């Protein structure tokens, strides 16, 4: 079963191919993506890698956490699942003036 990994503190020059190449030494990379800001079209400085097996994911987390990639010391950990239907925010609405 594939396991998703969070990769933080990425250089703004790091792209999907760089990320895939760096993590491929620990096993098969099922998917990877650097998160891009939709307004500026530049990296947000973090991304996700999905390893094909749990063993490969654990090896990648242990091996890559604290390593330097594109001049930055990256942080690597198991990704947390995003709650379904939760878009963040405080849920408050705007109140009108009386």
Q: What digits encode the pLDDT tens for the residues 34-92?
A: 999 999 999 999 999 999 999 999 999 999 999 999 999 999 999 987 777 655 555 55
| 89 inside domain | no
Round to whole Å and give the CA distance between 17 and 13.
11
52, with CB counted inside 10 A (0-12, 13-18, 19+), is middle
What does pTM read for this prediction? 0.81
How many folded domains does the chain comprise?
A: 1
Q: What is the pLDDT of residue 4?
A: 96
What is the span of the domain harbouring residue 24? 3-70
Q: What digits encode the pLDDT tens for the residues 7-36?
A: 999 999 999 999 999 999 999 999 999 999
| 96 inside domain | no
| 98 inside domain | no
């Amino acid at each position: 079963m594939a396991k998703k990994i969070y990769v933080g503190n990425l250089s703004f020059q790091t792209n999907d191919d760089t990320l895939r190449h760096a993590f491929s030494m620990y096993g098969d990379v099922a998917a990877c993506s650097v998160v891009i800001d939709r307004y500026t079209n530049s990296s947000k400085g973090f991304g996700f890698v999905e390893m094909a097996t749990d063993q490969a994911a654990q090896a990648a987390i242990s091996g890559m956490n604290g390593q330097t990639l594109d001049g930055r010391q990256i942080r690597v950990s198991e990704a947390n699942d995003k709650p379904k239907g939760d878009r963040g925010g405080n849920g408050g609405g705007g109140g009108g003036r009386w």
